Amino acid sequence: MRGSDSDALKKMAAIEAAKLVQSGQIAGLGSGSTCKFLLEELGRRAKNGLEFFGIPTSRETKKLAKEQGLKVLPAEKAEKIDIAIDGADEIDPELNLIKGYGGALLREKVVASKAGIFVVIADESKMVKRLGKKGILPIEISKDSYPGIIDALKDFKPALRNVNGKPFITDSGNFILDLNTGKTDLSYAERRLKKTSGVLETGLFILMASHAIIGTKRGVMHLRPKNAHYEAINHGNVS
């Protein structure tokens, strides 16, 4: 899929998802290329009277939200988030996700876990039959624990994420390791990783998304967990 085609599908999904945010709500604002379109649409709606507070999942999202004139709050200021909308790197038919290719997975998971409704948006290329298709599972780790974690997880062939030859540092001041999942059972991997000292969070978002909005060449599709097929819906109202 060409970049322009992918962007068109992402924009379709983002515009549809923006309809779900209502005045008076607190909304989690995700990170990544699809969420840029979401912020633009929410900015347009805000100019037409939509009033809500956004909880950014990254510094970049905060910057973009402010550029759109949106009101933002830090996650710690919100005991409950009405709705969170975020992208994903992989989405399976149960709406389980792999996230973190953009490096904001810890903050994204904190916001998603606080949300009454967690909606994932993406283009159709992110749909997979089984998580792990791309073979990469990001995890966020404490910098101080790096040497020990590398040894403890050596069977996952962990690779320290780098940018311009230097370790990538998350907004929370941590490292990202990209694990080679191969044919590993990801449920087992999640349990093992959670028990590994220094692992702060994984990119597995299991049983968290309540709704997915997917941009496809056939139009915008809405999915619910346990739907192994697309269900066409003509507008953004959640039934």
CATH number at residue 86: 3.40.50.1360
Give residue 164's domain range. Answer: 136-203
Q: Among 24-33, 130-139, 179-188, 215-224, where is mean pLDDT lowest?
A: 179-188
Q: Clarify whether residues 172 and 225 are in a common domain.
A: no
pLDDT score, position 3? 61
Number of neighbours of residue 210 by Cβ within 10 angstroms:
17
- What are the residues facing 162 on neighbouring strands? 167
Same domain, 73 and 44: yes
Pick the catalytic residue from 16, 90, 108, 140.
108
Q: Is 208 helix (H, G, I), strand (E, B) or coil?
A: coil
Same domain, yes or no: 9 and 106:
yes
Report whether pLDDT(227) > 80: no
> Distance between CA 228 and CA 130 in Å, rounded?
11
Cβ(52)–Cβ(23) below 8 Å: yes
pLDDT of res. 235? 35
pLDDT in tens, 179-215: 998 877 888 889 999 999 999 999 999 999 999 999 9
201 among known catalytic residues? no
Write the pLDDT tens digit of every residue in 152-166: 999 999 999 999 999
Which residues are 118's β-sheet partners?
84
Overall pTM > 0.85: yes
CATH no. for residue 187? 3.30.70.260
Please tell me whether residues 147 and 181 are part of one structural domain: yes
Kind of pairing, strands 71-72 and 53-56?
parallel
